Chain A
Amino acid sequence: MQVPASFAYERASSVRDALDLLRRHGPDARPIAGGHSLLPMMKLRLAEPTVLVDLGGLAELAGVAIEGTNIRFGAMTRHADVLASPVVAEHLPILVDAERVIADPLVRNRGTVGGSLCQADPSEDLSAAFSALRASVVISGTNGDRVVAVRDFHRGPYETAVAHDELVTDVLVPIRPRTGSAYAKVERRAGDWAVAAAGAVLTLDGDRIADAGIGLAAVGATHFVAVEAEESLRGAPATPASFTTAGALAAEHVRPVADQRGPVDYKRHLVEVLVTRTLTRAAARARGEA
């Protein structure tokens, strides 16, 4: 059995309490949500936090709800709850697509929205999906809340805008009319990290594309997005040709690295295929066809 190094454990009773604990124990303390990334890293001794601050009791941070023009996701909302949410099903099919292929049911029962974003794994599906959706992230500290666009949230692999004594409390996704979205991932096996994944959000204005968001995971896309491809779509006709062009542009600008999931040329090819496919599906959904 793989066992972690010794650590202290604190259970937070409120967001305020959690922030106090994190501040008091310093930068070697780590908050733990679902723990499905942190605990394996601790067992492999890739992470050796001195204190774990358990957020599991913070019911105030769980839940999905419409608030004005946004959908608000509490940071402690479990993947399984996102997948089961009627609000998500109605407005954000990209998240339904993504959640269906995130890990497995056991992980989805424990893993959280906030934990996924804060882990900032370059292969993280929700980072790509929320980036495509142009979500924003609410970060709480002892001095109050601040809101960061998700496209500014990730500072690099496993690095985010969250300081050691701050917590992500919410993710906000704007609701847009005439919008469709989709997500697709290629993996070697269910539960494996993505070889490559793409998410697309399309807002239509008649036959034209009013706005587009494209998120990419596992392929070295800066801030998990394909800005050049998005730009090419804005104002373009919602046709297969536009989607193919966008796919090729996205593939051109990613910087994947070779690993046992695949060589660079294959990952680049997947970006092209998956971006084209998700754009096609997103457009169909925006038109109410799928």
Chain B
Amino acid sequence: MEGVRPPEEWIRAAAETPRGYGAMKRKEDARFVRGRGRYVDDVVLPGMLHGAVLRSPLAHARIVAIDTSAAEAHPRVRAVITGETLAVLGLAWMPTLMQDTQAVLATDKVRFQGQEVAFVVADDHYAARDALDLIDVEYEPLPPTIDARRALEPDAPVVRDDQEGRTDNHVFDWSSGDAAATDAVFAEAAARPDQQVIGADVLYPRVHPAPLETCGAVADMDPVTGKLTLWTTTQAPHAHRTIYAMVAGLPEHKIRVVSPDIGGGFGNKVGIYPGYVCAIVASIVTGVPVKWMEDRSENLMSTSFARDYHMRGEVAVTADGRLRAVRVHVLADHGAFNATAQPTAFPAGFFGVFTGSYDLEAAHCAVTGVYTHKAPGGVAYACSFRITEAVYLIERLVDVVAHDLGMDPAELRRRNLLRPDQFPYRSATGWEYDSGDYPHTLQVALEKAGYDELRREQAELWRRHAAGEDVPLRGIGLSFFTEAVGAGPRRTMDILGLGMADGAELRVHPTGKAVLRVSCQSQGQGHETTFAQVVAAELGISPDDVEVVHGDTDQTPFGLGTYGSRSTPVSGAATAIVARKVRERAKIVAAAMMEAELEDLEWRHGSWAVRGVEGASRTLAEIALAAHSDLELPEGVEGHLDATTVYNPPNLTYPCGAYVCVVDVDPGTGEVHVRRFVAVDDCGVRINPMIVEGQVHGGLADGVGMALMQSIAFDLEGNCLGGSFMDYLLPTALECPSWELGETVTPSPHHPIGAKGVGESATVGSPPAVVNAVIDALSPYGVRHADMPLTPAAVWRAMQGRPLRTDLAIS
């Protein structure tokens, strides 16, 4: 089959390993395809016990009493821990990454369905699970606050009555941009006959990252050394270690956090969950290692969800389609605890980039966060700290404007995209976009898709549909996104005071083989390959000769971890810089070896050579051996070639992309079939194009899932309606077309190797393309907006002019 043949360069990659950048098979896959990965649940220690969490069946209730006696009497149960046990240790509550507090085990009340109430420790997982049924919790049910749009009403039940004096569910107000300037443009547009204001209410429903591996930990507190080793599903091992030290009062040098192979994170594994803390306490209490692994429903119902943004967006626009200003109001549902994971000074993440890829005179947004009786979280699922929401809103709005003005959405975008000569571009909300050639990227995508021909086909199908023929409704959807990734400059970005800079250490062994130690951690991104390629490119050696060590705080330098597409922008930069430091040290040694002056040496990809002297050249391996030998070393080198660095990014990197989605909608049933998807990404220099494309493939599938089937809705009692894979639908190969990828390359001017992050680009960019395509298909029915997920029912209801509200139970 022609369609499934991999690109030529991938086939070549199988036969040869590049020295530096280029497609090569992932080094880590050798163990994964053989089933030899080692995940947290594979960690088995002598004498290890197993924990299980009892969870609340109710969204809001007072805990009257907890009787654990029957569970404690179970012959294989070793301990039962409740909020009361933890309160004695001062651990019943823990701080969140957003400086709120979160219950570890509930003491006074439960505040969402699935909240942690007790922790059973038993000889095996089965006994622990059985014992959960033996715990008798007496609840006094209370009315919950579920509908975010009513959370601020005076009679709404107060979620956080644990906080003294609190009488409402307000979490924060945050705004960005110039309100007065924006209002002035809107007033003018509303008044002038050749301009208008166009708006839409847009919901980005609550979704869940649903990594294949759920969250868990093995805690091993050695009672003799006092050292805690924690194998855990974390995307940020160093940050977790520091937080455990701060929260639990354990000395930080006595904590080792190991994040072994991780089966997907997508932001779900950035935060600290009550189960981790319970496992640690249980190990301290029992004196033996304790494992806790949540099951699928626990993961979906209690761990970090994503989105849940209720947005109202308005655009001031001229009659000929010039976007002048954007004004946004957001109601952000944060659940029961404000436990989002993002730079602390950014309560709405990077939502401030909602101006998108367009040149605006003014922009303003106001975000209000509210508590509800739902699971906490908010920033996850490859969202680049809320850029998913921002991009979805602006790309949806642009299509609404195109609809209302009767303009082609491609042409409307073309008229408003930033021009290449405007970079570096300072947006109306203060973000400095580093580089891009947006019109070119859009053009590449339109040509790849055959946009004009697609429009002709669509017109023909619409004509036949109108004539009563049994044909599908064809829809074509565009999105153009700008991402802002690689957090971030430490002067503005930190998490709980920890600046978002990353360390790297590079050691070169006497034989010239290298070990790179990085602070970030892989959940499947291919760091062991990509970062080896960066070192290989800088030192002129094979990536196979570079071992990448990550995920173990005792073995790696400090850094903030892997999320927000920050690994290549930050740790990748640190890697290039530390390799350059090694290269410079090698130069000094090489000069001594060849008795040459430093200024006479030149780098010839892998060797230092004396300029103009035939044969006077030393490879990195030769230099490394000399650096460890009895060679008398000159000033500036104490011995060896090893180097360390810390990289503090001067700015974020701004990848972009143009996506085109083609769908067919069955007008009788509302079913959507994604026929084609063209994705042209510009992530600057591509280190390993195969890995980049793999990441794009994953993000596109995510986008199809969110646009068409995924959401976690709640009924008004607070029951989670997406708590299993029977209810929370992930797309399969059958829902995904054969992705058509393309690229443009605009290097980042401030990144050492010109690379930008890409891990989340497709997740950010694809949902609006899919939704825009579906809405486009429905335009013969006068539809201009409908909220995700566009299930068959939601599509049909939109066609009837009675759209579904997708955050609540369908009634």
Cβ contacts B579-599/A at 8 Å (1 or 0 each): 000000000000000000000
CA distance A104 to B731 in the complex (A): 13
Stretch of A64-72, A74-82, A183-191 on the interface side: A183-191
Contact B125 A1 (CB under 8 A): yes
CA distance A277 to B666 in the complex (A): 13
Known: A6-B126, A263-B811. A190 touches B734 (CB 8 A): yes
B63 within 8 A of A: no
> B708, B709, B792, B793: which has the most chain A beta carbons within 10 Å?
B793
Contact of B731 among A6, A189, A195, A259 (CB under 8 A): A189
- Chain B residues, Cβ within 8 Å of A191: 732
The A interface, classified by DSSP as helix, strand, loop or mixed, is: loop
A260 within 8 A of B: yes
Contact B721 A3 (CB under 8 A): no
CA distance A266 to B791 in the complex (A): 11
- Chain B residues, Cβ within 8 Å of A261: 791, 793, 810
B797 within 8 A of A: yes
B740 within 8 A of A: no
Contact B296 A2 (CB under 8 A): yes
With both chains docked as a complex, state the minimum distance between the C-beta of A264 and any C-beta of chain B, in angstroms.
9
Enumerate A195-238 residues with CB–CB distance to B below 8 Å.
195
With both chains docked as a complex, state the minimum distance between the C-beta of B745 and any C-beta of chain A, in angstroms.
36
- Chain A residues, Cβ within 8 Å of B670: 186, 266
A145 within 8 A of B: no
Contact B731 A260 (CB under 8 A): no
Cβ contacts B87-129/A at 8 Å (1 or 0 each): 0000000000000000000000000000000000000011001
Known: A188-B729, A189-B731. A266 touches B671 (CB 8 A): no
Residue of B nearest to A48 (CB): B133
CA distance A284 to B810 in the complex (A): 37
> B297, B729, B791: which has the most chain A beta carbons within 10 Å?
B791
Residue of A nearest to B668 (CB): A273
Contact of B810 among A104, A193, A258 (CB under 8 A): A258
Contact A193 B669 (CB under 8 A): no
Enumerate A1-46 residues with CB–CB distance to B below 8 Å.
1-3, 5-6, 40, 44-45
Contact B804 A263 (CB under 8 A): yes
Contact of A1 among B293, B709, B726 (CB under 8 A): B293
Contact B793 A262 (CB under 8 A): yes
- Chain B residues, Cβ within 8 Å of A91: none
CA distance A2 to B725 in the complex (A): 13
Residue of A nearest to B298 (CB): A2
CA distance A273 to B470 in the complex (A): 12
> A45, A260, A261: which has the most chain B beta carbons within 10 Å?
A260
With both chains docked as a complex, state the minimum distance between the C-beta of B85 and any C-beta of chain A, in angstroms.
25
B809 within 8 A of A: yes
CA distance A40 to B727 in the complex (A): 13
Contact of B130 among A6, A195, A258, A266 (CB under 8 A): A6
B735 within 8 A of A: yes
Contact of B797 among A44, A190, A263 (CB under 8 A): A263
A192 within 8 A of B: yes
Contact A262 B791 (CB under 8 A): yes
Known: A2-B295, A6-B130, A258-B811. A188 touches B792 (CB 8 A): yes
B713 within 8 A of A: yes
With both chains docked as a complex, state the minimum distance between the C-beta of B539 and any C-beta of chain A, in angstroms.
44
Contact A186 B293 (CB under 8 A): no
Cβ contacts A245-269/B at 8 Å (1 or 0 each): 0000000000000111111001001
Contact B669 A260 (CB under 8 A): no
CA distance A266 to B809 in the complex (A): 15
A283 within 8 A of B: no
B796 within 8 A of A: yes
- Chain B residues, Cβ within 8 Å of A270: 669, 792
CA distance A270 to B804 in the complex (A): 16
- Chain B residues, Cβ within 8 Å of A190: 732, 734-735
CA distance A1 to B726 in the complex (A): 16
Residue of A nearest to B671 (CB): A186
The size of the chain A interface, using a CB distance under 8 A, is: 29
With both chains docked as a complex, state the minimum distance between the C-beta of A125 and any C-beta of chain B, in angstroms.
16
Contact of B295 among A1, A6, A259, A277 (CB under 8 A): A1
Residue of A nearest to B792 (CB): A186
Cβ contacts A101-136/B at 8 Å (1 or 0 each): 000100000000000000000000000000000000
CA distance A261 to B792 in the complex (A): 8
- Chain B residues, Cβ within 8 Å of A186: 669-671, 792
- Chain B residues, Cβ within 8 Å of A192: 726, 729
CA distance A263 to B792 in the complex (A): 11
Residue of B nearest to A196 (CB): B669
CA distance A158 to B372 in the complex (A): 36
Contact B810 A188 (CB under 8 A): no
CA distance A104 to B726 in the complex (A): 13
With both chains docked as a complex, state the minimum distance between the C-beta of A244 and any C-beta of chain B, in angstroms.
12
Residue of A nearest to B704 (CB): A189
- Chain A residues, Cβ within 8 Å of B721: 260
- Chain A residues, Cβ within 8 Å of B668: 273, 277
Contact A189 B810 (CB under 8 A): no
Contact B129 A266 (CB under 8 A): no
Contact A260 B125 (CB under 8 A): no
Contact B125 A3 (CB under 8 A): yes
Contact B713 A260 (CB under 8 A): yes
CA distance A205 to B744 in the complex (A): 64
Contact of A3 among B126, B671, B732, B797 (CB under 8 A): B126
With both chains docked as a complex, state the minimum distance between the C-beta of B256 and any C-beta of chain A, in angstroms.
26
CA distance A258 to B126 in the complex (A): 36
Residue of A nearest to B794 (CB): A262
- Chain B residues, Cβ within 8 Å of A45: 133
- Chain A residues, Cβ within 8 Å of B727: 260
Contact A269 B796 (CB under 8 A): yes
- Chain A residues, Cβ within 8 Å of B293: 1
Contact A189 B732 (CB under 8 A): yes
Contact A189 B735 (CB under 8 A): yes
Enumerate B33-47 residues with CB–CB distance to A below 8 Å.
41
CA distance A49 to B297 in the complex (A): 22
Known: A2-B297, A104-B732, A273-B668. A263 touches B726 (CB 8 A): no
30 contacts between A and B (CB under 8 A): A1-B293, A1-B295, A2-B295, A2-B296, A3-B125, A3-B126, A5-B130, A6-B130, A40-B726, A44-B724, A104-B732, A186-B671, A188-B709, A188-B791, A188-B792, A189-B729, A189-B731, A189-B734, A189-B735, A190-B732, A190-B734, A190-B735, A192-B726, A193-B726, A195-B792, A263-B793, A263-B810, A266-B670, A266-B792, A277-B668
The 3 tightest CB contacts between A and B, nearest first, are: A262-B793, A190-B734, A273-B668
Chain B residues at the A interface, C-beta cutoff of 8 Å: 41, 125-126, 129-130, 133, 293, 295-297, 668-671, 708-709, 713, 721-722, 724, 726-727, 729, 731-732, 734-735, 791-793, 796-797, 804, 809-811
Besides A189-B731, A262-B791, A263-B797, 18 other A-B contacts (C-beta < 8 A):
A1-B125, A40-B726, A44-B297, A186-B670, A186-B792, A188-B792, A190-B734, A195-B793, A260-B810, A262-B792, A263-B804, A263-B810, A263-B811, A266-B670, A266-B792, A266-B793, A266-B797, A273-B668
